[in-house]
Amino acid sequence: MTNPNVNSLEEARFFTSSDARTDTLIYPLPATWWSRPYEYEWCRTLIDPGDIALDAACGISHPLKFYLGAVCHETHACDFDARINSWTTIEQEIIQDVGPQALHSIVAHPGWSRVQYAEASITDLPYEDNYFDIIFCISVLEHLRHVDQDLSLKEFARTVKPGGRIALTFDYPTVDLEQLTRAVESAGLTFANEFALTPPPDAIQSDLWGKLFCFRALLRKPL
């Protein structure tokens, strides 16, 4: 059920084929990244230039952190992969994963050099309490055990400011929405609205790794 008082960009729901998408974020997105055009376009709408932002479990070659670096007041990016500590290894991974032209586009973009990188698990973030205005965690939770999903949400709640936002996207049914709802409540966070637990007919989907759908949720930390 959708709350009529909720901004449509804040609605927790499945992405649908009518949603806006971008096929290029700094560089053209690979076709196998089936949900990223929708996820990244949604993320772009949530950014305020004054934000202190975190791209949590950012990946090495994924472009959101570089984009945030150019538009946010301050941008941090963390990943469990130790290669995040070295720009040389980041460059190597970008070339291997998405090609040399993508690397050229990244280094020509102003954002990459403005990101503060850290090797860290999202279950134990190396940041102060109440630091971020917004945290992005894009297509990550489906790779975590329930206990680590719970710990991650608690870390997001700890490090985001009162009134701050956490933008989540993840694959369904890999993530159990009922279990996630309990974890969100346990972390002291809130959804903007009630939502359906099953995908609508026009939900975007992929058959690359079994039938998957993509869900988005903008959580808030109460004031």
Is the pTM above the cut of 0.85? Answer: yes
pLDDT band at residue 136, thresholds of 50, 70 and 90? very high
- Asked if residue 110 has pLDDT above 70, the reply is yes
Q: What is the CA radius of gyration of the chain?
A: 17
Instruction: Give me the DSSP letters along 67-133.
Output: HHHHHSSEEEEEESSGGGG-HHHHHHHHHHHH-HHHHHHHHHSTTGGGEEEEE--TTS--S-TT-EE
**What is the greatest pairwise CA distance in the chain?**
48
167: helix, strand or coil: strand
Residue-level pLDDT at 2: 46
Which of 158, 161, 139, 160 shows the shortest CA–CA distance to 150? 158
Distance of alpha carbon 51 from alpha carbon 132, whole angstroms: 8
Distance of alpha carbon 191 from alpha carbon 139, whole angstroms: 18
What would the pLDDT profile of 147-192 be if each residue is shown by its tens digit? 999 999 999 999 999 999 999 999 999 999 999 999 999 999 999 8
